[in-house]
Amino acid sequence: MSTPFPPVFDGHNDTVLRLHMAKPANNEPFLKGDDRLHIDLPKAKAGGLGGGFFAIFIPNKKPMGGFPGTKDGDTSYAFPLPKELHRTYAMNLATGMVARMLRLEAESDGQVTIVRGADELTTALDDGVLAMILHFEGAEAIDRNFDALHVFYAAGLRSLGPVWSRPNIFAHGVPFQFPSDPDIGPGLTDAGKGLVRECNSLGILIDLSHLNAKGFWDVETLSTAPLVATHSGAHALCASPRNLTDKQLDAIAASGGVAGVNFHTGFLREDGRSQEETSLTEIVRHVDYMVERVGIDHVALGSDFDGATMPTDLVNAAGLPKLMAALQAAGYGPEELAKIANGNWQRVLRATWK
Ligand SMILES: [Zn+2]
């Protein structure tokens, strides 16, 4: 790593989906670099990205509407949530995307590794090998008996969000609307409660980003692991239901957990606009707020690279040193930067994984 900063370990990206949905699907753009990707190996090296949660996300069958951008006067929005997916559709795509990650690791000549344990993660960060966590964003590919959960665990699955925003047999997520409170809809189903217990017993991290408030509090009651929201900011600063209320932030901290600040401009800005012309200081503002509220040990980064609208100065992973410099300029010293960059993630994963 050639940056003056500690390697950044990142809470969320949708890069695998990009690779998998491209025609033809292949891993060369990632390995050699491609302008269309926010994260690829050359940009990771240039930006000091040490690794992160690589999401397996099952796309909607029909695209949702676009978020309000620069020219829209009214920045409020409310999209109906897509319908539940059929499990066979989800299972086929999930299998394909997991295979894509396994092939990527195999084709990378030792430059990429899928980490399955905390020591592996530390070693990869120390050695400059890109550390991927196999993460499910939404559990549509998992059945009620958890057979698929065990099979995917054996393949490397170590983190799972019960829902992306659309509902499934386990839980209900927050809709894409602004402004809005996250307290919308019912909590975990009985199957969802079983999923939390099964993840706890396997040592799979449970991701609370995208869960609605009742689901969040159900996990808070049930789970024996630290609470984690991989890619969500502060609701007090941007009233998206994808962000965390003060009470949720307090609960995450009380459990020893962590929240990764999302770089999507529509989740950062007070006006909720998805607009590239957004200063990096918006990310710093969320970090500051969360550090002030719950302490430096519970705040990290969760970019949403390859899945959202990034600020101009951080259009891809190569821009991460600019963010680290902005955090440094805001007064964070070396130890604090190390915690935000990767230390908090490492601590929480070590406490969660078996
Ligand atoms: Zn997401």
pLDDT in tens, 308-354: 999 999 999 999 999 999 999 999 999 999 999 999 999 999 999 99
Structure tokens at 231: 């890619």
Ligand 1 centroid to Cα of residue 210, in Å, is: 7
pLDDT at 62: 82
Strands annotated E in 151-204: 157-161, 177-178
- Amino acid (1-letter code) at residue 267: F
User: How many Å lie between the centroid of ligand 1 and the Cα of residue 302?
Assistant: 10
Say how many C-beta atoms besides its own lie within 10 A of residue 274's C-beta: 22
CA distances from 2 to 47, 50, 128, 234, 320 (A): 8, 11, 10, 31, 12
- What is the CA(335)–ligand 1 centre distance, in A? 29
Amino acid, single-letter form, for residue 206? I
Residue carrying the six token digits 């965390």: 244
Distance 296 CA to ligand 1 centre (A): 23
Residue that has been written with the tokens 């499910």 in this structure: 136
Q: Above 90 in pLDDT, residue 282?
A: yes
* 163 CA distance to ligand 1 middle (Å): 10
CB atoms closer than 10 angstroms to residue 66: 10
Ligand 1 midpoint to CA 118 (Å): 24
Distance CA 54, CA 27 (A): 14
Q: What is the mean pLDDT of the chain?
A: 96
Q: Provide the residue range defining the domain that includes 213.
A: 8-352
Q: Note whether residue 105 is domain-resident.
A: yes
CB 309 within 8 A of CB 264: yes
Q: Is residue 230 included in any domain, yes or no?
A: yes
Q: 299: pLDDT confidence band, cut at 50, 70 and 90? A: very high
Task: Calculate how far, in angstroms, residue 265's C-alpha sits from the geometric centre of ligand 1.
Answer: 13
**Mean pLDDT of all residues in 141-170:** 98
What's the pLDDT score for residue 70?
65
Q: Are strands 205-206 and 130-137 parallel, antiparallel or unpaired?
A: unpaired
CB 302 within 8 A of CB 230: yes
Q: Is the peptide bond before 24 cis (omega within 30 degrees of 0)?
A: yes
Distance 39 CA to ligand 1 centre (A): 16
Q: Say which residue the tokens 């012309």 belong to.
A: 277
Residue 2 tokens read as 């050639």
Report how far ligand 1's centroid is from the alpha carbon of 304 (Å): 7
The CATH number covering residue 302 comes to 3.20.20.140
* Ligand 1 center from residue 301 Cα (angstroms): 13
Distance 13 CA to ligand 1 centre (A): 8
Ligand 1 centroid to residue 137 C-alpha, Å:
7
Ligand 1: distance of its center to the CA of 209 in Å?
7
What residue has token string 């950044």? 8
pLDDT tens across 37-79, in order? 999 999 999 999 999 999 999 999 887 777 777 677 788 989 8
Proportion of the chain above pLDDT 90, given as a percent: 92
Q: Is 3 a member of any domain?
A: no
Does residue 1 lie in a domain region?
no
131 Cα: distance to centroid of ligand 1 (angstroms): 20
| d(CA 350, ligand 1 centre) in Å | 23
Give the model's pLDDT for residue 79: 87
Decide: 229 and 220 in contact? Cβ < 8 Å. no
Please calculate the CA angle 244-143-56 and round it to the nearest 5 degrees: 50
Structural domains of the chain, count: 1
C-alpha distances (whole Å) from 333 to each of 125, 325, 327 are 20, 11, 9
Span from the CA of 162 to the centroid of ligand 1 (angstroms): 12
Is 87 part of any domain?
yes
Query: E-strand spans in 26-164?
Result: 49-56, 77-78, 112-114, 130-137, 157-161
Ligand 1 centroid to residue 182 C-alpha, Å:
14
Bridge partner residues of 301 (DSSP): 261
What is the whole-number distance in angstroms between the Cα of residue 55 and the centre of ligand 1?
9
Q: How far apart are the CA of 223 and the centre of ligand 1, in A? A: 21
What stretch of H or E contains 347?
helix 344-352
Residue 2 lies in a domain: no
CA 123–ligand 1 middle distance (angstroms): 27
Q: Is 206 left (phi over 0), alpha (psi -120 to 50) or beta?
A: beta
Angle formed by the axes of helices 344-352 and 118-127, to 10°? 150
pLDDT tens per residue, range 114-154: 999 999 999 999 999 999 999 999 999 999 999 999 999 99
Candidates 173, 180, 175, 105; CA nearest to 139 is 173
Q: What's the gap in Å between 242 CA and the centre of ligand 1? A: 9
